[in-house]
């Protein structure tokens, strides 16, 4: 048993900047990630605002074509590598995983801290690329454009390469933590579904990210020495690059969405006060998604000139990966049945996720079908689709999780009223921006266009105006969250009536997480047996 003075927690246990920079506490590392992920999101969002502004009219408004290309490259690369891939696992996941399984820390705390510093180190490369003639390749770095353009591709690629290792080390840490650090009695099927989701995510991180690493390394050396594997001028094959790239980047989509689905499972049970419907189905579907996600990357290459056989296989398998996702959605809805639904801010984001992710999913079915994809590929339809899944899915879940665990992280409550207003702005703004882009895509508007035909202007202008509404929503959120840190009401240990282990310790938790190692003797969501 640990001896802890009353009022001590992981935040005030030790003081000073140095105590944070050298901390091995998973909670502090999670919070530091959170800070830098928020900064990255703001930066990526700023670029998005700028490039949408440029698209207000056809032709030049503020930026040249080259600057516009750099803007969308930076927006994509920052949002993917610095924000969304680490968003839920590295920040919320780091904070939460040991708490949810009743452990004192992750298995390798020093590795965890080095992951964080690798993240910072990679971020520095990306920022350097930004000031030293930003890359204009798009975040996909397709060859041979990326091997021939004169912008600073190498620093951006090296940045992504290093960020990849940060992600790999987080994945290794989580796998070992989940295998070896569970509290007594916490069998695999007593783990919260968030832990299952993080586990499935970690599997993908460990298996897919090395291939991205080698791909980016090959690209760097291609530029430096001309290895020629991806360069058609030297006898190489640009389609091979696309295979390499998407072998990581398609599973990476599930690195982004799986933890989000984990958050959803937590939110729906807690705010419906209901045991989850289909626990095993949800747990297994996470694993199924993780594995099948490796078999579908070729659906990014339907018109690229890959063989028709490959296209056929990839399309077929793409439909198989859609099923487990659909199963999860149905399970969440069934969970609400006969519950006691408390519509608080986190639950609002649950609803937002459900609404937006379904739209993203249905349009994904269109893109997965071969003949239809030929028409829609590389149009705004694709842009809208992945923003609905990534932003409408992952970001909404991230915000839901942030609001849900905020009291646990900081011991402070935020204003529910302000949260509702921000949510409203975000929902309206998001749909203004991106639903419009579905329409643009069906009309045949190609993506990554600096200028466009006059007839597309009304839709583009409407989409751009939506970005401002969206921005207002995020500004309100930033304001009330910071406000809560300063003047927020003290949070109780369990403000929402959650049953998982993190709610059984104080808010914020002590450095060692629990006074005594918890002993688990029940399933995670037995709301019918336990009354909170």
Which DSSP helix (H) or strand (E) runs through 248?
helix 238-272
Q: What are phi and psi of 518, to 5 degrees?
A: -70, 150
Q: Closest distance between another protein and the C-beta of residue 170, in Å?
A: 12
Question: Based on CB atoms, which residue is closest to another protein, 311 or 481?
Answer: 311
Question: Based on CB atoms, which residue is closest to another protein, 400 or 481?
Answer: 400
DSSP 3-state of 23: coil
Other Cβ atoms closer than 10 A to 24? 15
Q: Closest distance between another protein and the C-beta of residue 441, in Å?
A: 10
Q: Closest distance between another protein and the C-beta of residue 483, in Å?
A: 26
| Tokens linked to 131 | 């000031």
Rounded to the nearest 10 degrees, what angle do helices 416-442 and 380-389 cross at?
A: 150
Q: Closest distance between another protein and the C-beta of residue 209, in Å?
A: 7
Measured between alpha carbons, how far is 466 from 32 in angstroms, rounded to an integer? 31
Q: Closest distance between another protein and the C-beta of residue 472, in Å?
A: 26
| Tokens linked to 147 | 């091997």
The structure tokens 């879940």 sit at 397
Question: Based on CB atoms, which residue is closest to another protein, 310 or 482?
Answer: 310
Q: Closest distance between another protein and the C-beta of residue 478, in Å?
A: 28
Question: Based on CB atoms, which residue is closest to another protein, 482 or 526?
Answer: 526
Question: Based on CB atoms, which residue is closest to another protein, 66 or 504?
Answer: 66
Q: Closest distance between another protein and the C-beta of residue 203, in Å?
A: 9
| DSSP per position, 84-145 | IHHIIIIIIIHHHHHHHHT-SS-S-HHHHHHHHHHHHHHHHHHHHHHHTT---STTTT-TTH
Contact 162, 125 (CB under 8 A): yes
Question: Based on CB atoms, which residue is closest to another protein, 66 or 483?
Answer: 66
Question: Based on CB atoms, which residue is closest to another protein, 317 or 399?
Answer: 317
| Tokens linked to 34 | 């959170």
Question: Based on CB atoms, which residue is closest to another protein, 228 or 495?
Answer: 228
Contact 105, 186 (CB under 8 A): no
Q: What are phi and psi of 186, to 5 degrees?
A: -85, 85
Q: ∠375-377-381 over CA atoms, to 5°?
A: 95
Question: Based on CB atoms, which residue is closest to another protein, 191 or 197?
Answer: 191
| Burial label, 278 (beta-carbon count in 10 A; 0-12, 13-18, 19+) | middle
Q: Closest distance between another protein and the C-beta of residue 484, in Å?
A: 23
Measured between alpha carbons, how far is 152 from 136 in angstroms, rounded to an integer? 8
| Tokens linked to 72 | 């969308």
Measured between alpha carbons, how far is 69 from 47 in angstroms, rounded to an integer? 11
What are the contacts of 368-375 at 24+ separation with CB within 8 A?
A: 368/299, 368/315, 368/318, 368/319, 368/322, 369/315, 370/302, 370/311, 370/312, 370/315, 373/299, 373/302, 373/303, 374/302, 374/303
| Burial label, 5 (beta-carbon count in 10 A; 0-12, 13-18, 19+) | exposed
Q: Closest distance between another protein and the C-beta of residue 486, in Å?
A: 30
Q: Closest distance between another protein and the C-beta of residue 40, in Å?
A: 23
DSSP letter at 446? B
Question: Based on CB atoms, which residue is closest to another protein, 237 or 483?
Answer: 237
Q: Closest distance between another protein and the C-beta of residue 471, in Å?
A: 25
Q: Closest distance between another protein and the C-beta of residue 210, in Å?
A: 4
Q: Closest distance between another protein and the C-beta of residue 436, in Å?
A: 14
Question: Based on CB atoms, which residue is closest to another protein, 250 or 412?
Answer: 250
Question: Based on CB atoms, which residue is closest to another protein, 41 or 246?
Answer: 246
DSSP 3-state of 513: strand
Handedness of CA 426, 406, 394, 219 (dihedral sign): positive
Question: Based on CB atoms, which residue is closest to another protein, 26 or 408?
Answer: 26
Q: What are phi and psi of 211, to 5 degrees?
A: -70, -35
Handedness of CA 107, 211, 322, 349 (dihedral sign): positive
């Amino acid at each position: 048993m640990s001896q802890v003075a009353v009022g001590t927690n992981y935040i005030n246990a030790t003081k000073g900047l140095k105590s944070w920079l050298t901390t091995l506490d998973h909670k502090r590392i999670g919070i530091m990630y959170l800070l830098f992920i928020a900064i990255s999101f703001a930066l990526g969002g700023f670029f998005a605002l700028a490039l949408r502004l440029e698209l207000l009219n056809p032709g030049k408004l503020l930026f040249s074509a080259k600057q516009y290309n750099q803007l969308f490259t930076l927006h994509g690369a920052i949002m993917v590598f610095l924000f969304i891939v680490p968003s839920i696992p590295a920040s919320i996941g780091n904070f939460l995983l040991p708490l949810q399984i009743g452990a004192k820390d992750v298995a390798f705390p020093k590795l965890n801290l080095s992951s964080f510093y690798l993240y910072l180190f990679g971020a520095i490369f990306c920022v350097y690329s930004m000031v030293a003639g930003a890359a204009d390749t798009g975040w996909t770095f397709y060859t041979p454009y990326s091997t021939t353009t004169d912008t600073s591709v190498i620093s951006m690629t090296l940045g992504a390469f290093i960020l990849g290792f940060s992600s790999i080390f987080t994945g290794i840490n989580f796998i070992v933590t989940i295998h070896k650090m569970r509290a007594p009695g916490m069998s695999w099927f007593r783990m919260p579904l968030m832990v299952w989701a993080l586990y499935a995510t970690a599997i993908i991180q460990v298996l897919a990210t090395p291939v991205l690493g080698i791909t980016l390394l090959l690209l760097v050396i291609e530029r430096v020495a001309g290895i020629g594997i991806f360069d058609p001028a030297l006898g190489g094959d640009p389609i091979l690059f696309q295979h390499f790239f998407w072998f990581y980047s398609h599973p990476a989509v599930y690195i982004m969405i799986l933890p989000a689905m984990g958050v959803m499972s937590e939110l729906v049970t807690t705010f419906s006060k209901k045991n989850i419907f289909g626990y095993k189905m949800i747990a297994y579907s996470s694993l199924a998604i993780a594995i099948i996600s490796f078999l579908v990357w070729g659906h990014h290459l339907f018109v690229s000139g890959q063989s028709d056989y490959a296209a056929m296989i990839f399309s077929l398998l793409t439909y198989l990966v859609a099923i487990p996702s659909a199963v999860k959605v149905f399970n969440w809805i069934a969970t609400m049945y006969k519950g006691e639904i408390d519509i608080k801010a986190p639950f609002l984001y649950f609803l937002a996720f459900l609404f937006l992710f379904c739209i993203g999913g249905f349009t994904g079915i269109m893109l997965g079908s071969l003949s239809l994809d030929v028409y829609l590929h590389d149009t705004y339809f694709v842009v809208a689709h992945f923003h609905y899944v990534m932003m409408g899915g992952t970001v909404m879940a991230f915000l839901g999780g942030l609001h849900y665990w905020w009291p646990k992280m900081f011991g402070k409550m935020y204003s529910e009223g302000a949260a509702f207003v921000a949510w409203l702005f975000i929902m309206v703004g998001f749909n203004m921006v991106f639903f419009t882009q579905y329409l643009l895509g069906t009309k045949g508007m190609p993506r990554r266009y600096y200028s466009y035909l006059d007839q597309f202007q009304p839709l583009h202008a409407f989409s751009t105006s939506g970005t401002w509404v969206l921005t207002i929503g995020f500004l309100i959120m930033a304001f009330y969250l910071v406000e809560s840190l300063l003047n927020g009401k003290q949070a109780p240990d369990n403000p929402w009536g959650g049953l998982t282990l993190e709610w059984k310790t104080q808010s914020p938790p002590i450095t060692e997480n629990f006074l005594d190692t918890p002993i688990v003797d029940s399933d995670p969501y037995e709301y019918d047996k336990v009354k909170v």
